[in-house]
Amino acid sequence: MDNSAIEIKNLNVGYNTENSFSLIIKNFNLSIKKGEIFGIAGESGSGKSTLAQAIYRSVKYPGEIDSGEIIFKDKDILKMEANDLRKIRVTLFSFIPQAAMNALNPVRKIRYQFYDLLLAHGILPEKSNDKIFSVLKMVRLNESVLDNFPHELSGGMRQRTVIAMSLLLNPELVILDEPTTGLDVLVEHEILKDLKNIQRKYGITMIFITHDLAILYEISDRIAMIYAGEIVELGPRDDMLEHSTHPYNFLLLKNIPRIGVKMNNPIKLKGNPSNFNENFPGCQFYERCPFSKAVCSEKHPDLKEYSNEHYYRCILFPEWKQGV
Amino acid sequence: MNELIRTENLTKEFETRTGFTGISKIKALDNVNISLFPNEIVGIVGASGSGKSTLAKILVFLYKSTSGKIYFKDEDITKIHGKSLKKYRKEIQMIFQDPYASLDPYHSIEWHIKRPLLTSHYSGNIDDRIDELMNMVKLTPPEYYKNKFPHQVSGGQRQRVYIARVLALNPQILIADEPVSMLDVSLRIDVLDLLSKIKNELGIGIIYITHDLNTVSMVTDRIYVLHNGEVVEDGYTNTILTSPHDGYTKALIEAASDPYKRI
Ligand SMILES: Nc1ncnc2c1ncn2[C@@H]1O[C@H](COP(=O)(O)OP(=O)(O)OP(=O)(O)O)[C@@H](O)[C@H]1O
Ligand SMILES: Nc1ncnc2c1ncn2[C@@H]1O[C@H](COP(=O)(O)OP(=O)(O)OP(=O)(O)O)[C@@H](O)[C@H]1O
Ligand code: SF4
Ligand SMILES: [Mg+2]
Ligand SMILES: [Mg+2]
């Protein structure tokens, strides 16, 4: 049996600039399993949203998908006719873009925004009120929100509305880009718990993207760390937490303040974020890495297997870890 | 040692329009009593809308309180104005959440630090003082950063430029309102470490405002937990985080993210 919900193969995505094309997502390969929460982490500018948009084939100019395949239900999304693509969106897989809760139509009541979504899929809204009520219930919103305008709802309620919309037609896969960023801690925590419950109850596959490593580790089954548009470490959540193989994952984990845990001057990343240089021949993390040696600047590291399902992209592993 | 600043039953009501006719009042702060001593970092903690920023804005005289008193070194300053207000404003400086918005994109980093020295008629050697401040906030070597513009450095460095800028005025109190929430994880620690360093080396008092109890546990000595404008719990950070009494404090602790926890 094929256990893969979606498979990304040799994906290259970038942005057209005045006189060139700069590649952001580079030769990206990833297979997401059915029924898992797959977490993608990386700092600002690492390419998370670009990747998410590419998976949903919603990259807009100046962005452009250069090459690759995204296999979903035996078909390559990137080669699908626009019409076929529209049919499977929301019904089979859906996408909540970054800051979607601020992108609701401000002059249209929530009810009609649900109706619009149904109409776009050829479904008569009048017959679907029960469906709408049931997704609202899933995200623990009162039916009364249907008669509100977006600005009459709190940030958390708007985010729940957007999540409800993404679930409206029972998709098998949902891509969530920073679904709780900017929300209050208490609200964020509640929404994360609800998302996990919904995911477990209905067996939905979720791709959960955030820059917030702590919540990613709280919610995910497997995790990929992205740096400069590449996976630098990938594995089951527990393994990634207990046995980091890449300095990036290791250092970020060490640098997250936690209640009741004394920080003894942890080793820090060097340099600045988003200092990516496409033409650099060596490890993209070289400038930031406190463990780097000359060899790291010479050759681009491949993704290697550490243990079952756990991969890393570092020339000096396990050597670097002996010193810490 | 005496308090640098102390509030007594500080209350703030906002009037908001509801519908076409009604006016309703929101009590953003309700009889708040806090104090800050030299050489300590005090946390103001609470969820969104609990009144944290309102408190900060009243302390820096951006808002006027509805009732209650503010004391600066035992002197009642609730109603000061004119020259004494100007003098007080120099003593209390604020750092904001967004390091992008708080700097001027058309001016160099050196300009940002030099400017307050000029306007406050700094009497010593200005170039030496700039170097000293840049070293203090670890923008080193200073020459490397001086001629750069805000967009040429990282968010964490921008935040440090802003901190150097406000330290140039030699304040006795610093208020930092969510200073790291917009920064990537890898940059947060440096800014938080810097707050501790400033406290230790300059002996000033710092008010650290956030909804993130993780960072609070890292930098603060004492905390006040705000809920709907009221202080529901206060005391030593360690004591409160290990044995909270108030239900709301417990909820905040429970919601604090931790990679070693599971949802
Ligand atoms: N419209 C655009 N034109 C040119 N470059 C872009 C555009 N959008 C994004 N980029 C570049 O692509 C890179 C990746 O951006 P992306 O938005 O995917 O990052 P991200 O990881 O989602 O960041 P964040 O955490 O801030 O959301 C960045 O370096 C960014 O500058
Ligand atoms: N200028 C204003 N006019 C009317 N109401 C206001 C104003 N400023 C704040 N409020 C209200 O006062 C309450 C406290 O707001 P405040 O900004 O102090 O909260 P906060 O704790 O800083 O929240 P956050 O974590 O979201 O920054 C809120 O209900 C807010 O809507
Ligand atoms: S290859 Fe070298 S520079 Fe890259 S992560 Fe490993 S040790 Fe660091
Ligand atoms: Mg993004
Ligand atoms: Mg605030």
The pLDDT-based confidence of B151 (bands split at 50, 70, 90) is confident
**CA of residue B216 to ligand 5 center, whole Å:** 15
Question: What is the mean pLDDT of the segment spanning A194-217?
Answer: 96
Q: How confident is the model at residue B94, as a pLDDT? A: 94
Predicted pLDDT at A1? 52
Tell me which H or E stretch contains A32.
Answer: strand A20-33
Q: Which residues surround ligand 4, an ion (CB under 5 A)?
A: A 48-49, 98
Q: pLDDT (tens digit, 9 = 90+) per residue, A34-43?
A: 999 999 999 8
Nearest-CA distance from B89 to chain A in Å?
30
Which residue among A186, A241, A272 places its CB closest to the CB of B260?
A241
Are β-strands B222-227 and B41-45 bridged in parallel, bridged antiparallel, or unpaired?
Answer: parallel
Does residue A42 have its Cβ closer than 6 Å to ligand 1?
yes
Query: Per the omega criterion (within 30 degrees of 0), is the bond before A62 cis?
Result: yes
Contacts of B187 in chain A (CB under 8 A): 273
Assess A228–B contact: CB distance below 8 Å, yes or no.
no
What residue of B is the nearest CA neighbor of A248?
Answer: B186
Rounded distance between C-alpha atoms, residue A119 and residue A113, angstroms: 10
Q: What is the DSSP letter of A3?
A: -
pLDDT tens track for A21-62: 999 999 999 999 999 999 999 988 899 999 999 999 999 999
Confidence of residue A79 (pLDDT cuts 50, 70, 90): very high
Distance from CA of A262 to the nearest CA of B (A): 7
Distance from Cα B24 to the centre of ligand 2, integer Å: 15
Q: Is A44 at the interface with chain B, CB within 8 A?
A: yes
Mean predicted confidence (pLDDT) in B61-70: 97
Query: What angle, 0 to 180 degrees and rounded to 10, lies between the N-to-C axes of helices A155-167 and A185-202?
Result: 10
pLDDT digit string, tens, across residues B35-60: 999 999 999 999 989 999 999 999 99
SS3 A218: helix
Other CB atoms within 10 A of residue A81 CB? 8
Residue B251 with chain A: CB contacts under 8 Å: 186
DSSP letters spanning chain B? ---SEEEEEEEEEEEEEETTTEEEEEEEEEEE--EE-TT-EEEEE-STTSSHHHHHHHHTTSS--SEEEEEETTEE-TT--HHHHHHHHHHEEEE-S-TTTTS-TTS-HHHHHHHHHHHTT--S-HHHHHHHHHHHTT--SHHHHHT--GGGS-HHHHHHHHHHHHHTT--SEEEEESTTTTS-HHHHHHHHHHHHHHHHHH--EEEEEES-HHHHHHH-SEEEEEETTEEEEEEEHHHHHHS--SHHHHHHHHHS--TTS--
pLDDT in tens, A89-111: 999 999 999 999 989 999 999 99
Chain B contact present for A192, CB below 8 A: yes
Q: Is B109 on the interface with A (CB under 8 A)?
A: no
Contacts with B62 (C-beta within 8 Å, 6 or more apart), sequence order: none
Neighbours of A194 (CB within 10 A): 16
Mean pLDDT for the stretch of residues A228-241: 97
B171 lines ligand 2 (CB under 6 A): no
Residue A260 DSSP class: T
Neighbours of A239 (CB within 10 A): 19
Give yes or no for a contact between A50 and A59, defined as CB atoms under 8 angstroms apart. yes
Whole-number Å distance, alpha carbon A290 to ligand 3 midpoint, is: 8
- Residue of the nearest CA to atom 24 in ligand 2? B48
Q: A60: which 2 tokens? A: 């807009």
Chain A nearest-CA residue for B184: A43
Domains contained in chain B, CATH given: 5-96+154-255 (3.40.50.300)
pLDDT band at B181 (very low <50, low <70, confident <90, very high): confident
Which of A184, A215, A288 shows the shortest C-beta gap to B48? A184
Distance between CA atoms of residues A25 and A51, nearest Å: 7
- Across all residues in chain A, what is the average pLDDT? 94
Tell me the CA–centroid distance for residue B55 and ligand 5, in Å. 9
